């Protein structure tokens, strides 16, 4: 049941990214270009994501355990360190240059041709390199 819910949530998320235009690299780059020809249409996507998340956090605060699963995952340590800052900078640079971030890139794989496939392949290679060269110290495995 858990996998069916995860598949449905992922499919709904991907569909939302496609419908909202988050998979359109020109639109994303126009949104990120606040000093130039700014395209504000993705502001509605951000607000549209914040409203249901705010409701979800309110519901989560009242629940003792999730509907599916034994316990809510523990929060990250919250430390702001070089790894976090470096990763955020690389994420922003990649998003600005390519017009893709991981979620929309995967959602767009079937629609954008070889450029999307190259982006996802290099993203996976980058994740592997970071995992090998910069392992997280003291990180706990994800709950099953």
pLDDT attached to residue 2: 79
CA distance 118 to 88: 21
Nearest Cα neighbor of 104 from 43, 51, 8, 27 is 27
pTM: 0.70
- Nearest C-alpha neighbor of 97 from the set 112, 117, 119, 113: 119
- 42-84, pLDDT tens digit by residue? 999 889 899 999 999 899 888 888 887 788 877 777 778 888 8
pLDDT at 124: 92
Alpha-carbon span 21 to 39, nearest angstrom? 12
User: Can you give the residue ranges of every domain in the chain?
Assistant: 2-133
> Is the predicted pLDDT of residue 12 greater than 70, yes or no?
yes
């Amino acid at each position: 049941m858990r996998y069916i819910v995860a598949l449905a949530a992922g499919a709904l998320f991907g569909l939302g990214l496609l419908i909202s235009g988050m998979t359109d690299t020109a639109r994303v780059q126009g949104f990120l270009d606040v000093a130039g020809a700014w395209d504000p249409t993705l502001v509605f996507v951000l607000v549209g994501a914040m409203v249901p998340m705010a409701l979800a956090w309110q519901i989560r605060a009242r629940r003792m355990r999730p509907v599916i699963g034994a316990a809510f995952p523990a929060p990250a340590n919250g430390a702001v360190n070089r790894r976090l800052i470096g990763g955020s900078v690389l994420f922003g640079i990649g998003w600005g240059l390519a017009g893709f971030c991981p979620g929309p890139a995967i959602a767009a794989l079937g629609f954008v041709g070889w450029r999307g496939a190259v982006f996802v392949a290099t993203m996976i290679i980058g994740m592997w390199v970071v995992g090998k060269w910069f392992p997280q110290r003291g990180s706990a495995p994800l709950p099953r």
